[in-house]
Amino acid sequence: MSGPRAAVGVVLAAGMGSRVGADGNKAYLRLAGASMLSWSVRAVAETAGIDRVILVYRRGERDVAARALHEDLPGIAVELVEGGESRHDSEFNVLGHLCADIESGAVDVVLIHDAARPLAGPDLMRTALDTARAYGGAVPALPASGLARPLPDGGLEPLTGRLVRVQTPQAFRAGPLLEAYRRAEAQGFDGTDTSACVQHFTDVEVRVFGGAASNLKVTYPPDIRLAEHLLAATVNADRR
């Protein structure tokens, strides 16, 4: 590719909030003075090497998304792309938005992060970018614990050490990522996350790197209190 390489950071905020108890989209929950999606967008925007930031909003919520960004992150340029019915559809929409720049070589890496993970920091983002550029794809994960499967005799077999909990941000070389989603669209494939689609339709090597225990996903009501406590501690530390 000629010219400078550019990375795009994408934050997905098109989901619902039923399990967390939110009235509407949980991405707009206020945590330590800012919306949850704004914390995630800030982490992406502050990552060295990310040249463009995109927020994928739920259909009908463009105005509320723009208002949250204006109030919480004044001065940060964020592109807005409408999401789809599923996570996979939202990713396909944003790749369509980037299609011309990916095909021209202007964008070489795409990083995708969940708005529901407001505690991921720039270091995690940077590792994902560097790993994707080196190998093709990057996924953070932690060893899974407390899991077991039932046995025929009624007992349980621990699964510790065999499984991992996958997190975001995930990052991939842009060309193969776009091709994977085009093939998925043609075949009606709907992946559970970005890496599932890439691994199903390409030979790209997706490297797993160490995630962060603090990079929790806000899914249930207790997660809100924990995330707010941790974010408030970060704010207080920055003010010292």
Every domain of the chain and the residues it spans: 7-239
pLDDT confidence tier of residue 170, bands split at 50, 70 and 90: very high
* CA-closest candidate to residue 215, choices 98, 110, 124, 153: 124
Distance of alpha carbon 166 from alpha carbon 183, whole angstroms: 24
Handedness of CA 177, 183, 184, 185 (dihedral sign): positive
pLDDT in tens, 190-201: 988 999 999 999
- pLDDT grade for 94, boundaries at 50, 70 and 90: very high
What is the CATH T-level fold of the domain 7-239, as seen in this structure? Spore Coat Polysaccharide Biosynthesis Protein SpsA; Chain A (3.90.550)
pTM: 0.90
Residues contacting 213, CB < 8 A, separation 6+: 142
Please check whether residue 15 is in contact with residue 25, taking contact to mean a CB–CB distance below 8 angstroms: yes
107, pLDDT greater than 80: yes
Q: What pLDDT was estimated at residue 161?
A: 60
